[in-house]
Amino acid sequence: MKTSDFDYVLPESCIAAFPATRRDCSRLMVIGRFGGPTTHSEFARIGEHLPPRSLIVLNDTRVIPARLRGHKPTGGAIELLLTRCTGMPGDDANEMRWEALGRNLGWAAVGTVLAFDGGLTAAIARRGAAGAVEVILRTPVGTTVMQHLDRMGELPLPPYIEVARNRRAALPEGASGAVSREAATLFDRERYQTVFATHAGAVAAPTAGLHFTDELLQRLETEGHEIVRLTLHVGLGTFRPVKTEAPDSHDMESEWYAIPEQTAIAVNHARRAGRPVVAVGTTVVRALESSALEGGGNVVAGEATSRLFLRPGARFGVVTDLITNFHLPRSTLLMLVSAFAGRERVLGAYEEAIAAGYRFYSYGDAMLIRGTA
């Protein structure tokens, strides 16, 4: 197996620059994990395509405004993109340690204190290659780091969204005129976040969850499905292309996750009862399968980190069905989906989606891979 086996050509026009007008009016492709015909639908009708009495597992992580613009002691402008919190001390902390990517840091040494508006500072604790740093964020007494990030940080949209907007001057359906940076920022703060986002800490959205509305979730429960949650804080490494020709040589970055006791009990009970376990997104797959590997086959409540790299040949012991978006070529996400449903099956579905005008990537359309009849 080679990384190039997961390459495909995507016309630029297929990259979604904005989400659909309503979350649940995205298109939905339904394929069978083990074969069968393809169905084209819309996300609002996903209940019609789910197996009866499904256990639906959501990732309730919340994306933080992780891009910060500030200054060095010399006055030079710098930028930090927070990538992973180390330690997870809680939302009420006025000091947090983060890994980050720095821009224009120059020769700023360990110990240098970077300044941002509102009294937020970042002391460089470690420097790495290619702009990688570890910083200690501090705020004045009586305020928290998360409050400052929420007020002053910028949402770190995937770069392909910005490129698509700049090249096509794309607008949300129904909009008119030019979109200012301020208007786009307000728009993204709402739409690049799931309606069930609760626990702050992700630097990228669990995009399969973006299609759900509160009304749709309530309807699914009324139809007899059970919904539970876990938290996995998505890092930038999730979307990083695999640059080695041998996927086995790719180094997965760790991601923190937490599984509540209620969720662990529900998943294990559903498996014993033979009920479908539907993962909403690849992040949920990694959390559940990581926990089961560590728990001797059972999903275990608690906090942990995952570096699980699921690729063809991997076995899935928990998840039976998967809701996901359309992913980048040569990515670990595409490899995970290919491991779940088969590389040829998935790439054939992608080819069909391109021909049918589906919208790809974070703000794009969705796919349901059914593993149960």
What SS3 state is found at 217? helix
Given a cut of 90, whether residue 54 has pLDDT beyond it is yes
Phi first, then psi, for residue 305 (nearest 5°) are -125, 150
- Per-residue pLDDT at 184: 65
**Calpha distance 145→96 (Å, rounded):** 7
Given a cut of 50, whether residue 53 has pLDDT beyond it is yes
User: Hey, what are 179's tokens?
Assistant: 């979109």
- What is the average pLDDT across 53-61? 98
Among 359, 276, 282, which Cα is nearest to 318's? 276
- Per-residue pLDDT at 328: 93
Residue 150 region by backbone torsions, left for phi larger than 0, else alpha for psi between -120 and 50, else beta? alpha
Given a cut of 60, whether residue 171 has pLDDT beyond it is no
Q: How confident is the model at residue 1 (pLDDT cuts 50, 70, 90)?
A: confident
Instruction: Give percent of the chain with pLDDT exceeding 90.
Output: 69
Among 242, 249, 244, 243, which Cα is nearest to 334's? 242
The model's pLDDT over 276-288, given as tens digits with 9 standing for 90+, comes to: 999 999 999 999 9
Q: How confident is the model at residue 244 (pLDDT cuts 50, 70, 90)?
A: confident
Q: Give kind and range of the element (H or E) at residue 261.
A: helix 261-273
User: Hey, what are 37's tokens?
Assistant: 């015909």
- Per-residue pLDDT at 262: 98
User: Hey, what are 257's tokens?
Assistant: 């996750």
Given a cut of 70, whether residue 170 has pLDDT beyond it is no
Secondary structure string (H, E, C) spanning 145-206: HHHHHHHHCECCCCHHHHHHHHHHCCCCCCCCCCCCHHHHHHHHHHHCCCCCCCEEEECCCC
Residue pair 318/259 in contact (Cβ under 8 Å)? The answer is no
- What is the average pLDDT across 307-315? 91
**Calpha distance 355→321 (Å, rounded):** 25
- Per-residue pLDDT at 94: 85
Spatial neighbors of 13 by CB under 8 A, at least 6 apart, are 168
Count, residues in the chain: 373
**Calpha distance 60→112 (Å, rounded):** 35
Given a cut of 80, whether residue 250 has pLDDT beyond it is no
Given a cut of 90, whether residue 177 has pLDDT beyond it is no
**Calpha distance 283→324 (Å, rounded):** 10
- Per-residue pLDDT at 178: 42
User: Hey, what are 215's tokens?
Assistant: 């009304």
- Per-residue pLDDT at 22: 93
Can you state the percent helix, strand and coil of the chain, rounding each to 5?
A: 30, 25, 40
**Can you list the domains of the chain with their CATH numbers?**
3-63+189-370 (3.40.1780.10), 67-152 (2.40.10.240)
User: Hey, what are 356's tokens?
Assistant: 């049918």
**Calpha distance 100→84 (Å, rounded):** 7
**Calpha distance 54→99 (Å, rounded):** 38
- Per-residue pLDDT at 174: 43
Other beta carbons within 10 Å of 83: 20
Among 288, 352, 317, which Cα is nearest to 30's? 352
pTM, full prediction: 0.91
What average pLDDT does the structure give for the chain? 90
| 31 DSSP β-pair partners | 369
